[in-house]
Structure 1
Amino acid sequence: MLSNPNIDLVSRFLRLPLEQRQQFYQRLQSCGMSFAQLPIASIREDGQALPLSYAQERQWFLWQLDPESAAYHVPGALRLSGRLDKAALQRSFDTLVARHESLRTRLDLQEEQRSQHVLAHGVIEIAESAVDEARLKARVEAEIARPFDLQQGPLLRVSLMALSEEEHVLVLVQHHIVSDGWSMGVMVQELMQLYSAYSQDQACTLAPLPIQYADYALWQRRWMEAGEKTRQLAYWQALLGGTQPVLALPLDHPRPAQQRFLGARQDIALEPALVAQLKALAQREGVTLFMLLLASFQLFLYRYSGQQDIRVGVPIANRNRVETESLIGFFVNTQVLKADIDGQMSFAELLQHTKQRALQAQAHQDLPFEHLVEALQPERSLSHNPLFQVMFNHQAKAQTPVQQLPGLRVANLEWETRTAQFDLSLDTQETLDGVWASLTYATDLFDAATAARMTRHWLGLLQAAVADTARPLQDLPVLASEERRHMVEQWNATLRDYPQGRWVHQLIEEQVQAQPHAPALVFGNQRLDYADLNRRANRLAHRLIEAGVGPDVLVGLAVERSVDMVVGLLAVLKAGGAYVPLDPEYPRERLAYMLDDSGVKLLLTQAPLLAQLPVPPGVETLVLGESTFAGYSEQNPDVAVDGENLAYVIYTSGSTGMPKGVAV
């Protein structure tokens, strides 16, 4: 039991004005004592406005952006086989609502001041309906997707679907603002205990709750304000730095301007032999299975993206206190686990690197993710999550999904995942029967075939890494041998002779001779045959030669996707020069850097873009257009070039520093 002197100490601390709280916190720190070692005390007073927790504030913001979204619903579904006592079931929910304030909480908004309002009494009505087996999963998914009103409540919804007199499905849906995955487990466990007693006309006494969620929210704020936020934030700022790169995975579809949180899932079971190897390796290297699987996922993301700075979101239960273990509420926090990967590292080295970062994160786990976002100020976009775009979650030793109650057999019901909060989420689960994994993906970004291929590649990398932990990460095979053979030997016409000593623009000139009126270029309603394309490119090429363009001379090309873009590319090659593509949608700072770094003296562009381009002094600009260079020759230029001459210079994304020009 927690001692009363400690409770009294915390109560006095929490009631102190901010400055005195900060001084008291510093004294504790100087004595080597953490406030986290002390209990959570309730200091609520009647009529006091109860603040939201930091996590709840972010949920409120996300709900306002899209109140119809089901991305932050916390669902559970139980299949009940046998004789169901509906009165006992209703009484069980009545007891749960009376016991947990979060189940009778709604959100208040008065003049931009948000607070949580706990109702004195709450009633959860069980919505009953009939359903047949064929439509069951669709009905469950529809019930999960039905939106909540955070200001009206209730924020728990219970549905009972009858398949027959002795076959029912109980669907529980909570909004994340008052719950999390652990909370759903607490609810189901207590529901089973209550139902077991009430269905037999017995009393059920659950262990009393020392605090409620609103007490935790108030305690969290006053502890963080006293100085704990500053201490933990310093670690994360030093680790993550001032630049927050976006993970550049190869997408099947362009990223939409705003996330729609639509998702699907691919499941995979790890072979028993592989699981045995994983456990043996984890024991040998002194790491947990969580650390090993996280390292393998980071390796997969490194190989897929080519980026060395890999950041993965990892949820933590944030239940490291006895007072919060049995509460229903939104406690889960998110950490950003950063891996700095070098292709020359071995998997054994990556494991130790991941272990170190995980242990450091554990020592700084209380800082709310919302504070980290606020402090680091990443470039905000509704198209992706800030600080990280992929999630990894590992659950160990999950409870057996089948339970026995008086007259009832209870089993978890699986349903199809229809939401995705991130680009990718890898969930792994360790049970007594083995290790299972599932990859949830945003369907706006990836096709099902791509997600299936990703699961194979992750599993292949995991198997290869376990088999040879000393091999450099860059040498571990991503593709299975059959997949590699298919791509290398069947997709590529490797036996076909390709003309040597002739360049792209010369091959086009040959096509002009062979089929001058064949379609060469189509853009919207514009069409050019080979003769037209060649004439326009030749006129521009002669103008470029007049301006001094020749072999290895760089020419900037800042144009929108258009016919002019292709004419410009071809003309630069005909003049013997090399083009430097400059996307007009890039920030001005990036364009200015590329123009300066490349040293181009001539820039091809379009009239509407001139005003927005940061053209430095000394750079000549030519505006492209069909009739702009009408006075120049239409004959093919005769410029001698060699295979070693430059064709173009392209700049990297700059995700790991300043963009770098790559000469090709």
Structure 2
Amino acid sequence: EPDAGALAHHVYEAPRGEWESTLAQIWAELLEVERVGRHDSFFALGGHSLLAVRLMNRVSALGADVPLATLFASPTLAAFAAVVSAQLNQQTSALPEITPVPREGVLPLSFAQQRLWFLAQLDKTSANYHIPFVLHVRGPLNRVAWQQALDALLARHEALRSTFVSVEGQPQVQLLPADTGVPLRWHDLRGVPDADAQLSRLTADEVHAPFDLARGPLMRVCVIQLADDTYQCVFTQHHIVSDGWSLEVLIRELSALYAVSVGAQADPLPPLTIQYPDYAAWQRQWLSGERLQTQSDYWRATLADAPVLLELPTDRPRPAQQSFAGAHVPVQIDASTTQALKRLSAEHGTTLFMTVLAAWSAVLARLSGQDDLVIGTPSANRGHAAIEPLIGFFVNTLALRVDLSGEPNTSELLKRVRCTTLDAQAHQDLPFEQVVEIVQPPRRLNHTPLFQVMFAWQNNEIGQWSLPELDVKPGELNYDMVRFDLEMHLYEAGEQITGSLHYASALFDPTTIERHVGYLKTMLQA
């Protein structure tokens, strides 16, 4: 019996015409495959939603503005090329170019930054919006070169040099000078008797120490030396200047800059044509008028009369004010179930994310007794080719309203979830905070507005560190802050789906959450 791998490729037929050839080259590059035939499907070849966004950016740069849903409706090369070519003949407007703005005047915040700045004013000592990660490094780490590489990264990305000052109660961005440098703390624990305890304490202090948004820099690094050739590096950034996609950029560029500093290579990084403040100014100009109205109307209609709270059974009463203390349990979906889910997804024209979301929705509906539920999901929001190489806070949150009324079967539920997800992605430009303003859900201090369950599908595209003469591995970090009652984080690792279910420990016991994970596995297998 042929395995799923044998079904991904049809008999090879070479691309025809200019558009098929151009797109075949782009697909081959993005999907890292040797060649793409006319009848190959983007998703069968390994495409997922983040790669789809990158594909749309490439298509947009060629002058065609097609919605993401087009790729799902026409996933083969020939069909997609036909739609793109037809679209190009009908239209004149792709996304307008992002151009540099003067740095002398007032620099605006992006909508996403404005939301985080407001939240930070409510609690200035909170570490809820820190992005920390840990690296274990073995080998001769060059201290001077490491500082130089970090400083060069800070000089290169204006987002990392942004500070947020209040002028008459309104925030403005001010940029630190390019030669500011990254705060780098260095601790030597060689020969210290209680080194493990010290390591835990230093790491925790580093991750939780508050940032001053008005002074900056909003990124810092701490290196803890454990032996002559063993180090732990702790990076902490404030979310207002970074996001998940940014980490991939940081890893790639810091690797290159360190190699330059130790003399292993010449500087390979091309200059950046625009910076984050240019994007923030462009976003405010672009998202206005009719475009703003269309997006606002969609979310107002979609979330009208949505349930205020997903009433999951909890182990303890909900506290009067939301607690951000959390914990997590691992989630592992075995290879055979993952393979079967991929086949199911291919049959129904869904991504793996949509299929697992459908199953998780069904579980939450059973647990809560509600057949109308809203689940949040982060969206990379990098729908413009010019912002792909930037570090900055672009990510947006989409509120997906899933309808489980009328006891839908698998096929019907997948269809509903696919429609909901594609529609939301087509209207993802409106920042989540503006969606909340439009929908006006009742505000309560004991839970988040619009949804209390987050489902994040990490496409695990975090790059690989390559530092000359050093062996670098990501480390585990004890940083359990949750912003919602439940947060499911999953990604594909090899043949399996893996990740964790984070939960608010004020509401749930670990055994309850382990049971929830068991329910999800049962639902996925069924």
Specify the TM-score bucket, using the shorter chain as the normaliser.
0.7 to 0.9
Question: For the structure 1 residues 278 and 141, does the alpha-carbon distance in structure 2 shift closer, same or farther, using more than 3 Å as the test?
Answer: farther
- Name the residue aligned to 2:26: none
User: Offset at 1:277?
Assistant: 1.3
User: Offset at 1:203?
Assistant: 2.6
Question: Counterparts of 1:367 and 1:86 in 2: how far apart (Å)?
Answer: 43
- Name the residue aligned to 2:490: 428
Question: Counterparts of 1:201 and 1:428 in 2: how far apart (Å)?
Answer: 36
SS of residue in 1 equivalent to 2:164: strand
Question: For the structure 1 residues 36 and 249, does the alpha-carbon distance in structure 2 shift closer, same or farther, using more than 3 Å as the test?
Answer: farther
User: Offset at 1:241?
Assistant: 0.8
Kept in 1, the 8 Å contact 2:100–2:275? The answer is no
1:94-119: CA deviation from partner (whole Å, max 9, x where unpaired): 11011001111100101112111112
Q: Which of 136, 140, 143 is matched with 1:86 structurally?
A: 143
Kept in 2, the 8 Å contact 1:56–1:177? The answer is yes
- Name the residue aligned to 2:292: 229
User: Offset at 1:39?
Assistant: 4.1
- Name the residue aligned to 1:154: 217
- Name the residue aligned to 2:454: 391
TM-score (norm 2): 0.79
Question: For the structure 1 residues 199 and 39, does the alpha-carbon distance in structure 2 shift closer, same or farther, using more than 3 Å as the test?
Answer: farther
User: Offset at 1:382?
Assistant: 1.9
1:615-630 counterparts in 2 under 5 A? none
Identity score, percent: 42
SS of residue in 2 equivalent to 1:67: coil
Q: Which of 393, 403, 407 is matched with 1:330 structurally?
A: 393
- Name the residue aligned to 2:376: 313
Question: Counterparts of 1:54 and 1:116 in 2: how far apart (Å)?
Answer: 13
1:582-593 counterparts in 2 under 5 A? none
Question: For the structure 1 residues 384 and 320, does the alpha-carbon distance in structure 2 shift closer, same or farther, using more than 3 Å as the test?
Answer: same
Q: Which of 184, 187, 190 is matched with 1:129 structurally?
A: 187
Paired residue type of 1:413: G
User: Offset at 1:59?
Assistant: 0.4
- Name the residue aligned to 1:628: none
1:261-300 counterparts in 2 under 5 A? 261-300=324-363
1:111 aligns with 2:168: yes
- Name the residue aligned to 2:439: 376
- Name the residue aligned to 2:314: 251
Q: Which of 385, 398, 410 is matched with 1:347 structurally?
A: 410
Q: Which of 188, 202, 222 is matched with 1:139 structurally?
A: 202
Unaligned 5+ residue runs, structure 2? 1-57, 64-87, 190-194
User: Offset at 1:142?
Assistant: 3.1
Kept in 1, the 8 Å contact 2:130–2:207? The answer is yes
Kept in 1, the 8 Å contact 2:256–2:268? The answer is no
Q: Which of 463, 469, 472 is matched with 1:410 structurally?
A: 472
Question: Counterparts of 1:149 and 1:382 in 2: how far apart (Å)?
Answer: 25
Kept in 1, the 8 Å contact 2:247–2:462? The answer is no
TM-score (norm 1): 0.63
1:139-192: CA deviation from partner (whole Å, max 9, x where unpaired): 323321111111111100111111112111111111111111111221122101
Kept in 2, the 8 Å contact 1:429–1:437? The answer is yes
- Name the residue aligned to 1:645: none
Paired residue type of 2:371: Q
Question: For the structure 1 residues 460 and 226, does the alpha-carbon distance in structure 2 shift closer, same or farther, using more than 3 Å as the test?
Answer: same
Q: Which structure has more RCO (C-alpha within 8 Å, separation ≥ 6)?
A: 2
Q: Which of 387, 402, 420 is matched with 1:357 structurally?
A: 420
1:17-56 counterparts in 2 under 5 A? 37-56=94-113
User: Offset at 1:422?
Assistant: 0.5
Kept in 2, the 8 Å contact 1:265–1:417? The answer is no
- Name the residue aligned to 1:62: 119
SS of residue in 1 equivalent to 2:285: helix
Question: For the structure 1 residues 167 and 33, does the alpha-carbon distance in structure 2 shift closer, same or farther, using more than 3 Å as the test?
Answer: farther
1:445 aligns with 2:507: yes
Question: Counterparts of 2:186 and 2:287 in 1: how far apart (Å)?
Answer: 44
Question: Counterparts of 2:375 and 2:252 in 1: how far apart (Å)?
Answer: 31
1:476-531: CA deviation from partner (whole Å, max 9, x where unpaired): xxxxxxxxxxxxxxxxxxxxxxxxxxxxxxxxxxxxxxxxxxxxxxxxxxxxxxxx
Paired residue type of 1:286: G
Question: For the structure 1 residues 34 and 103, does the alpha-carbon distance in structure 2 shift closer, same or farther, using more than 3 Å as the test?
Answer: farther
User: Offset at 1:200?
Assistant: 2.5
- Name the residue aligned to 1:102: 159
Number of residues of Structure 1 aligned to a counterpart in Structure 2: 438
Question: Counterparts of 1:269 and 1:287 in 2: how far apart (Å)?
Answer: 21
Kept in 2, the 8 Å contact 1:137–1:415? The answer is no
Paired residue type of 1:448: P
Paired residue type of 2:514: A
1:474-485 counterparts in 2 under 5 A? none
Question: Counterparts of 1:216 and 1:49 in 2: how far apart (Å)?
Answer: 14
Paired residue type of 2:186: E
Unaligned 5+ residue runs, structure 1? 7-30, 465-664
Kept in 2, the 8 Å contact 1:40–1:216? The answer is no
Paired residue type of 1:171: V
User: Offset at 1:445?
Assistant: 1.1
1:436-473: CA deviation from partner (whole Å, max 9, x where unpaired): 03100011111122112211122222222xxxxxxxxx
Question: For the structure 1 residues 118 and 399, does the alpha-carbon distance in structure 2 shift closer, same or farther, using more than 3 Å as the test?
Answer: closer
Question: Counterparts of 1:176 and 1:303 in 2: how far apart (Å)?
Answer: 34
1:528-539 counterparts in 2 under 5 A? none
Kept in 2, the 8 Å contact 1:309–1:339? The answer is yes
Question: For the structure 1 residues 211 and 244, does the alpha-carbon distance in structure 2 shift closer, same or farther, using more than 3 Å as the test?
Answer: farther
SS of residue in 2 equivalent to 1:230: helix
Question: For the structure 1 residues 183 and 426, does the alpha-carbon distance in structure 2 shift closer, same or farther, using more than 3 Å as the test?
Answer: same
Paired residue type of 1:127: R
